[in-house]
Amino acid sequence: VDHLLGIKYLDKEDIELIFKTADHFKEVINRPIKKVPSLRDITIANLFFENSTRTRLSFELAEKRLSADIINFSAASSSVKKGETLIDTVNNILSMKVDMVVMRHPNPGAGIFLSKHVNARIINAGDGAHEHPTQALLDSYSIREKLGSVQGKKVVIVGDILHSRVALSNIFALKLQGAEVKVCGPKTLIPKHIESLGVKVETNLKAALEWCDVANMLRVQNERMDISYFPSTREYIQQYGLNKSILEGLSKEIVVMHPGPINRGVEITSDVADSKQAIILDQVQNGVAVRMAVIYLLASKIKQ
Ligand code: CP
C-alpha cells in the first residue's frame, strides 16, 4: 500500500500491522519523553480544505512525535481563494521537497485524484461523504483496547449514515475484522443499497442498542444536506437521541462512541457523552498513536 486513501484499499493484515505499530507508539507517547527520531528526514504537508479540530491537531501531534518536519496549509487563508487549482496548489507545495501529504477535502475522491497526479504519499484525512480511514482505524483500535478484540463484536452505527465518511470507513474496517455491523437511523439518512456492504438496517434505536456491544453515535451533518431530507431536530432527538434513561434501561452495559464533534442534546445527551460508558476521549487519545503508525509505515516505503 503506497497511500492511505480509504479502508476499502486495505486488507485485514494491513490493519493488524497498523494496530501492532500503534501499540508500540502508544507506549512511546506515555513515556516522559514522548518523541522518537524515526522521521527526522521526512517532510509532511497537512492540507486542510475543510474545517477540522481533532484530525488536524492529531496528525500534527503524531508528526511532531515522530520528529518529522511539517508545514500546515488551510484553504481558507490560501491562494485557493484566488482560484488556484488543487493540483497546482499541491505541486507548488511538493516542489519545496515534501514527501507526504495529509489532506482533508470536501470532494469525495479528492485524495484518489491527487494520488494519480502528484509524486508523494497521500493520507486521506476525510474526503467529503466518502471515507475517513484514520477515524475508522482509531475507532476499531479503541474497540480492541476496550473489549479485547473487534472480531465477533456487534457494532451499531447510529444516525446520519448517508452523509457520513466515518460510517463508510467504519463499515469496511469492522467487516474486515469480523465484526457484525448494523446501521440505525431514519430511512431518509440511510443509503438505499447499504445492505450490499454486509450490514443490516435497524430503524428502531432501542432494538439496535439492545442488540449491540458498541454504539457509535454520529452527528447529523446539516452542512451536507438539503434540509428537506431530515426529520425535524425535535423528531430526531425523540427517535434517535441517546440519553441516560435509554442507556440505563438496556439489559447490558454497552460501549458508547462518537467521532466528534458532538451535537450535545441531539444525537447524544451530555450525561451519556460524559459517562463512564463513553470512550469518546479515549478515541481521540488513540488517534495520535494510530496516526503515528500510519505515517511511520508509509514513510518506511519512502526510505526503501
Ligand atoms: N472526527 C473528526 O474528524 O473530527 P474533526 O472534523 O474535528 O477533525
Closest approach atom of ligand 1 to CA 53: 7
Indicate whether 192 pLDDT > 60.
yes
- CB of 133 shorter than 6 A to ligand 1: no
How many Cβ atoms from other residues are within 10 Å of residue 274's Cβ? 12
- Determine if the peptide bond prior to 261 is cis (ω within 30°): yes
For the segment 134-161, the average pLDDT, to the nearest whole number, is: 98
Q: What is the pLDDT of residue 273?
A: 98
Angle at 301 between CA 300 and CA 303, to 5 degrees: 65
Indicate whether 124 pLDDT > 60.
yes
**Residue 260 annotated as binding?**
yes
Query: Which residue blocks in the chain are alpha helix, DSSP H?
Result: 12-28, 54-65, 86-94, 110-117, 133-147, 165-176, 205-211, 233-240, 244-248, 270-273, 280-303
Does residue 222 or residue 11 have the better pLDDT? 11
- From the CA of 249, how far away is ligand 1's center (Å)? 30
Indicate whether 167 pLDDT > 80.
yes
- From the CA of 261, how far away is ligand 1's center (Å)? 6
Amino acid in position 7: I
Indicate whether 304 pLDDT > 60.
no
- From the CA of 290, how far away is ligand 1's center (Å)? 15
**Residue 221 annotated as binding?**
no
Closest approach atom of ligand 1 to CA 125: 3
Indicate whether 70 pLDDT > 70.
yes
Does residue 223 or residue 97 have the better pLDDT? 97
**Residue 224 annotated as binding?**
no
**Residue 24 annotated as binding?**
no
Q: What is the pLDDT of residue 227?
A: 63
- From the CA of 286, how far away is ligand 1's center (Å)? 14
- From the CA of 304, how far away is ligand 1's center (Å)? 32
Closest approach atom of ligand 1 to CA 259: 1
- CB of 53 shorter than 6 A to ligand 1: yes
Contact status, residue 176 vs residue 137, Cβ threshold 8 Å: no
150: exposed, middle or buried (Cβ count in 10 Å: 0-12, 13-18, 19+)? buried
Q: What are the structural domains of the chain?
A: 7-132+284-303 (3.40.50.1370), 133-281 (3.40.50.1370)
The cell numbers describing 88, all together, are 497546482
Q: What's the CA gap between 30 and 229, in Å, rounded? A: 45
- CB of 52 shorter than 6 A to ligand 1: yes
- From the CA of 255, how far away is ligand 1's center (Å)? 20
> Is the pTM here over 0.80, yes or no?
yes
**Residue 283 annotated as binding?**
no
For the segment 271-291, the average pLDDT, to the nearest whole number, is: 98
Q: pLDDT band for position 302 (50/70/90)?
A: confident
Q: pLDDT band for position 73 (50/70/90)?
A: very high
Q: What is the pLDDT of residue 1?
A: 81
